[in-house]
Amino acid sequence: MTDYRKIIFEHIKGVLPELDVSDIQQSENFCDYCVPCFKYAKILRKAPAMIANEFAAKLTVPGVQVSALNGYLNFTIERAERVKSVFERNEFLPLAGKTVCIDYSSVNIAKPFHIGHLMTTVIGGALYKIYKSLGANVVGINHLGDFGTQFGGLISAYRRWGDEARLNERGLDELLELYVKFHNEEEKNPDLAAEARGWSKKIEEGDSYAVGLFDKFKSITLEQAKKVYNRLNIEFDSYLGESFYVDKVSKVEDKLKAKGLLKLSDGAEIVDVGDDMPPAIIRRSDGASLYVARDLAAAYYRKDTYDFDKCLYVVASHQALHFKQLFKVLELMGEPWANDMVHVSYGMVSVEGMSLSTRKGNVLFLSDVLDAAVAKAASIINERNEKLDNKKEVSESVGVGAVVFDALYDGRLKDKNFSLDSALNFDGETGPYVQYTHARCRSVLSKAGNADIDGIDYDMLTGDSAYEVIKLLSDFDSVTLDAAIKYEPSFVSRRLVKICQAFNRFYNAEKIMCGGAEQSARLALTRAVADTLKKGLSLVLLDAPERM
C-alpha cells in the first residue's frame, strides 16, 4: 500500500528542513493528513497561519490536494488515487536488514504460568510478529528465571515433603504446593533459609543430585509453559536463562575495572550511576552476583551474538529503576549501543481487582483463564450458529483470542482489570468482533463464488461509506510501522476495530451483490478488508476463523 505520509514528507522536507515525519498527523475532519505549523513560528518568525498559507501556495504533491486552514497545512488524497493504492500493493519492508532482540515472558522455573505473565507474553509476542512483518530479523528471547536461592528452597521442600510418583503425576501443581509450603514453614523456622542457600550453592557448583532435580523441575515447567505458548500463538528463538550468564559476570567485572567504574562499598562491588539513582550492585559482600550483573552479561552476549539494532525488554513498569541502572552502566562503559536498549514497560494486570502472589499461593493460572474463556465462547457460538461444523476449533480461537485482544487493546502502560464478559462481547471493541467481521467478509466472498473481482473501476469505491473503509485500509502498513516505533501493539488492535466498524457501516448501507461493475468493486473491497483483518489479527496473535 502507498505510504502517503512518507510521500508528503519527501515533498515538504525540501522547503521545511525542520519537519519530522512524525509531525505529519492523520486527520478525520477537514483532510486526510495535516501538519500543525505552530512549532515553526519561532523558527521562521512568522505566524502559523502565514506559514501554512505560504507552503500551501507553493507545494505540489501528485495525487494530493494541498490547502491551509487556521495554521494547519492540510493534505487531502484524491479519492480514486487512494482507492488505487489499496489494490495495487507494494511490499512494505521498511525494517529489512535490522535485527531486533525482544526479551519477553521470562517465566520462572517451578512457578506456574499465571495471569500476571499475560501482558509481557502477549505484548512481546505481538511485537515479535509486527517487527517480522516489517522485514526485521527478530530474535525472541525467553530469559528464564532459573537462578537463585528459591530453587535451593524447592529442593529442600521436595526432600522433606515431596514424592517422585506424585511429582510425575501432578507436575507443576505439585511444585507450586511444595513452593508455597516451604515459604510458609520458613516463616516459622528460619533455619530453612540456610538450608535453601546450601542447596542453591550445590546447584551452582554442579552437584549431580541437585542439578538433576533442578533440571527435572525445569523440564516440567517448560513443558507446561509451552502448552500455553502454543495456545497463544507465541514463539521464541532462545530459552537461555539467568543461570547461563552466571559464569560470564567476571568478564563484565573486568570491563568495569578497566574503565575504573567498579568500586567497593562495605565489601560489595558497585557502580555509581549518578545522584538520581542508587548505585548498581554487581556483587554482594558474600560474593553473589545480582540481577544487574547478570543482565549486563546477557546484554553483551546478545550484542556479540546477534549484533542487534534494538534490544527490547518487555517487563513491568515497576522494574523501571533496574533498567535505568542497567542502561546507565552500559553508557558509562562507553558502549555506543547503550541507546539501543529499550525498556518496554506495561501496567499491572488483575482479575476483578485481585492482586496475585505465587509465594502466598493466591494464584490464578493463565491456562484456567483461557479454559474459562473458551468455554464461554463455545456457549455463545452455539447460540449464534448451532450448525457450525468446527465449533471446538472456533471456540478455542475465539476464547483465547478474546483474552489476548483484550490485553492488547488499551495502551500497554494502563493497568488492566480483566473481565471475561467484556472480552467476549461480540458487539464490542473486542477480538470476537474483529474475528466475526472477518468471517462475515469470507461468507460474502464465498456466496459470490467465481464472480470477477479483479480489474475493478476505482471510481466505484469513492462514495462516502466505501471511502471510509479505503482510508483505514490504505495506511494500515503505516499504522503497523508506528506500532513498532512506539512499541505499542494496541495501535494495530484499535485500527482493526476501526476497519470493522467502517466495513459494517458500508455493509449495512450498500448492497454488495448488486450486479455489474459495482458488485465487482464492492466484492474487491470486501476481499481487501478480509485480507487486512486476517493479517492484522495474526500480528496481535489471533486466529482468523473463516466461519463463526
Please give the positions annotated as active site: 111, 114, 117
Q: H/E/C letters for each residue in 375-402?
A: HHHHHHHHHHCCCCCCHHHHHHHHHHHH
Which residues are within 8 A (CB) of 161 and not within 5 positions of it... i.e. 6 or more apart?
178, 181
Q: Which position has the grid cell 552502566?
A: 329
CA–CA gap between residue 411 and residue 432 (Å, rounded) = 19
Pairing of strands 99-103, 310-314: parallel
Sign of torsion over alpha carbons 114, 115, 116, 117: positive
Distance of CA 154 to the CA centre of its chain: 32
CA–CA gap between residue 468 and residue 461 (Å, rounded) = 10
Q: H/E/C letters for each residue in 267-284?
A: CEEEECCCCCCCCEEEEC
**Which residues are paired to 114 by β-bridges?**
365
Q: Look up residue 199 and give its amino acid.
A: W
Q: What is the DSSP letter of 289?
A: B
Cell numbers standing for residue 519: 458488485
Phi, psi dihedrals of residue 265, rounded to the nearest 5°: -140, 110
Pairing of strands 341-344, 310-314: parallel
CA–CA gap between residue 475 and residue 481 (Å, rounded) = 10
Q: Look up residue 329 and give its amino acid.
A: V
Q: Which position has the grid cell 535505568?
A: 324
Cell numbers standing for residue 285: 559482600
CA–CA gap between residue 442 and residue 43 (Å, rounded) = 53
